[in-house]
Amino acid sequence: MTCMPNEDAEFHNAIKEVFLKYPEAQGKYALSSLQLENEMAIDWENEVGVSRIEDRKIITEFVDRKSVIRMQLCLKWNFDYTECLHWIEAPE
């Protein structure tokens, strides 16, 4: 089992307090790291993650924002909700 990161402990504790204050959100949201995306050098201004489910796998591809023209639902927002970082196709 992995433990919480030591860095940003005050931030993580504040997020934990929000989840404790709003327990109904605990099963709907999770704190997510952008470590893998940063390792891939994703350019968030020009790229967006688009995900689909195949069997029991979530497949995410990073594509040019301008190329994504289908109906979408945002899964992951940046810190101030001004830009979507990760989309899923809306159900038909």
With 0.85 as the threshold, say if the pTM is over it. no
3 pLDDT more than 80: no
Distance CA 6, CA 49 (A): 28
The number of beta carbons lying within 10 Å of the beta carbon of residue 25 is 11
Distance CA 47, CA 88 (A): 14
Predicted pLDDT at 38: 94
The number of beta carbons lying within 10 Å of the beta carbon of residue 4 is 11
Predicted pLDDT at 85: 86
Q: Which of 21, 22, 27, 89 is nearest to 52 (CA)?
A: 89
What digits encode the pLDDT tens for the residues 39-89? Answer: 999 999 899 888 888 999 999 999 888 876 666 788 888 888 888 888 887
